[in-house]
């Protein structure tokens, strides 16, 4: 990193809410009302999922070829920061703005519907376009809506996608390819993903229970978070990111958390920070047996002096390719609303400790950390195939 970049605007939607204030209040309250039982994506098999409560927004006619539920919610989020996106385009020029969005599902649900229609009627629906499901669709959609001509592409590194979008955008700005980036993540629920994780025996029937001895799987969720990143100073900074690749197993993490540790240490090193400079860590915290074990081990090694940590997935579900961006948005909210102290998201679980998991400092409802001077927060995202990313954000920089 050649110095901090700044996140002057953030919009989001998730099972916690459809705007910044409601999301922040629900987060601190430990609101799990967005975690629901549904068989919508797996007919005949009820699953606990994190579902967006609000209806999606119709797309303008200019983008009908990229119409999908995923892009409808992405558009709804973009409208939250519409003025800031347009200002970036006007200030720097359309060719000097990038769009980098992390995703894994994109618009697959539209293809699922189209395949069912084809099975019943012998042909695809007239309005079906394969581009609706392509990984590049969310980024292309935003670029089309705002007339952006700079680097435009999606990052798809499974559950690390949303976090890696930040490091990708930062590299583009620091290398001089652009002056601003619309960066974030977008993933919505679909049958392939919910059913796929069930086939892997990775889903919990109840709300997930990270770090508990009783944990038995995650919940799939959906969410979108989008930011405007520039070099122009504002309240909240993207300080840096660390990335690593285990290549240990197609779906299981390296059991001692060596790749997770490398990502966290690299984020600190590239940010010129020490572990004691971090005030809070948002865990990947999927509530799967192997992930929680390895992540806790890595955290305990990196932060020898324990810092508050929590997993927010019991309130949102695991939003897959958007998880890194949604959880970055949670850091952004904590910093944005901080005054004398930063209020921390609570770790929701049954309190049953696992003797095989290191004892780490789990944040409780009402916990805060000082916000005087400069404060730094970290977030982890880890993915199938061993793709790891840790990002650091700060205020007062």
Helix ranges (DSSP H) in the chain: 20-29, 69-80, 82-92, 108-121, 137-146, 161-174, 191-199, 258-270, 289-302, 313-316, 323-336
Helix (H, G, I), strand (E, B) or coil at 332: helix
Q: How far apart are CA 90 and CA 381, in angstroms?
A: 33
Helix (H, G, I), strand (E, B) or coil at 209: coil
CB 53 within 8 A of CB 114: no
Sign, Cα dihedral of 232, 237, 239, 240: negative
CB 374 within 8 A of CB 395: yes
Helix (H, G, I), strand (E, B) or coil at 163: helix
Choose among 158, 166, 199: nearest CA to 182. 166
Positions marked active-site: 159, 284, 318
Q: C-alpha angle 370/374/377, rounded to 5°? A: 75
Token pair 């990984």 in the structure block, residue: 135
In the structure encoding, which two tokens stand for residue 384, read together? 């199938």
CB 314 within 8 A of CB 208: yes
Q: How far apart are CA 320 and CA 315, in angstroms?
A: 14
CB 96 within 8 A of CB 180: yes
- Tell me the C-alpha to C-alpha distance, in Å, between residue 100 and each of 40, 318, 363: 30, 21, 32
Q: How far apart are CA 264 and CA 246, in angstroms?
A: 14
CB 344 within 8 A of CB 374: no
Q: How far apart are CA 255 and CA 392, in angstroms?
A: 24
Q: How far apart are CA 17 and CA 288, in angstroms?
A: 25
């Amino acid at each position: 990193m050649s110095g901090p970049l700044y996140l002057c605007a953030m919009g989001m939607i998730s099972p916690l809410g459809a705007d910044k204030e409601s999301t922040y209040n629900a987060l601190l309250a430990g609101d799990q009302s967005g975690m629901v039982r549904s068989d919508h994506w797996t007919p005949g098999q009820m699953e606990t999922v994190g579902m967006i409560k609000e209806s999606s927004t119709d797309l303008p006619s200019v983008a009908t070829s990229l119409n999908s539920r995923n892009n409808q919610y992405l558009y709804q989020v973009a409208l939250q920061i519409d003025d800031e996106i347009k200002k970036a385009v006007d200030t720097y020029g359309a060719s000097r703005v990038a769009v980098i969005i992390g995703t894994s599902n994109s618009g697959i649900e539209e293809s699922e519907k189209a395949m069912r229609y084809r099975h019943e009627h012998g042909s695809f629906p007239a309005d079906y376009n394969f581009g609706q499901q392509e990984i590049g669709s969310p980024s292309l959609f935003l670029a089309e809506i705002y007339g952006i001509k700079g680097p435009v592409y999606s990052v798809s590194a499974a559950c690390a996608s949303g976090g890696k979008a930040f490091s990708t955008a930062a590299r583009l700005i620091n290398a001089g390819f652009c002056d601003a980036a619309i960066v974030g993540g977008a993933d919505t629920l679909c049958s392939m993903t919910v059913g796929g994780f069930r086939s892997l025996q990775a889903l919990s029937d109840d709300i997930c229970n990270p770090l508990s001895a009783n944990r038995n799987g995650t919940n799939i969720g959906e969410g979108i978070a989008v930011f405007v990143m520039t070099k122009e100073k504002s309240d909240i900074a993207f300080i840096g990111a660390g990335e690593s690749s285990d290549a240990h197993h197609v779906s299981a993490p390296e059991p001692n958390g060596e790749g997770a540790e490398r990502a966290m240490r690299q984020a600190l090193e590239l940010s010129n920070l020490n572990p004691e400079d971090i005030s809070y860590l948002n865990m990947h915290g999927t509530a799967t047996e192997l992930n929680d074990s390895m992540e806790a081990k890595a955290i305990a090694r990196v932060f020898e002096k324990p810092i508050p940590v929590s997993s927010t997935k019991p309130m949102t579900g695991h939003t897959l390719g958007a998880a890194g961006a949604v959880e970055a948005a949670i850091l952004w909210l904590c910093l944005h609303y901080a005054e004398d102290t930063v209020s921390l998201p609570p770790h929701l679980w049954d309190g049953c400790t696992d003797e095989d998991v290191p004892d780490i400092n789990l944040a409780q409802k009402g916990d805060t950390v000082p916000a005087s001077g400069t404060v730094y927060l970290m977030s982890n995202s880890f993915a199938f195939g061993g793709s790891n990313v840790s990002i650091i954000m700060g205020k007062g920089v």
